[in-house]
């Protein structure tokens, strides 16, 4: 059962425009969410995170929005640049006791068109 879902396997966006990547989760116990970016043959690189006590977190060109009632988060990249072409993973964890590993979605391949 996929607890973190990224329903768009790929997304193509023109350079300079906004890229919006979406993520849904089913486990209401998740309260900390992260986005990672991955280039081929490299490990995931941390981009931005958000705690469930917030609904928005911004870092430069990257903004993450969290809608807890809908169990949905999104990553906005503005403006999109060619170097943003990569696979983006949404990940979730919960701050309660027990499991410390991250649960990842399957990823969205973002392609920035010149």
Residues that bind other proteins (CB under 8 A): 4, 32, 34, 36, 41-46, 49, 89, 91, 93-95, 98-107
Q: Which is nearer to other proteins, 80 or 105 (CB)?
A: 105
- Find the shortest distance in angstroms from Cβ 88 to other proteins: 10
φ, ψ dihedrals at 49, nearest 5°: -135, 170
- Find the shortest distance in angstroms from Cβ 8 to other proteins: 14
Three-state SS at 83: helix
- Find the shortest distance in angstroms from Cβ 24 to other proteins: 14
What is the rounded CA–CA span in Å between residue 27 and residue 4?
A: 8
What is the rounded CA–CA span in Å between residue 70 and residue 25?
A: 9
What is the rounded CA–CA span in Å between residue 8 and residue 94?
A: 24
Q: Which is nearer to other proteins, 89 or 112 (CB)?
A: 89
């Amino acid at each position: 059962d996929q607890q973190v879902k990224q329903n768009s396997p790929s997304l193509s966006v023109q350079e300079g425009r906004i890229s919006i990547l979406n993520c849904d989760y089913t486990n209401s116990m998740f309260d900390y969410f992260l986005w990672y970016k991955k280039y081929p043959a490299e490990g995931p690189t941390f981009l931005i995170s958000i705690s469930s006590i917030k609904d928005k977190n911004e870092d430069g060109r990257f903004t993450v929005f969290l809608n807890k009632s809908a169990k949905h988060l999104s990553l906005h990249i503005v403006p999109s640049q060619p170097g943003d072409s990569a696979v983006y993973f949404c990940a979730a964890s919960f701050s309660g006791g027990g499991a410390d590993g991250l649960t990842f979605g399957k990823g969205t391949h973002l392609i920035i068109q010149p």
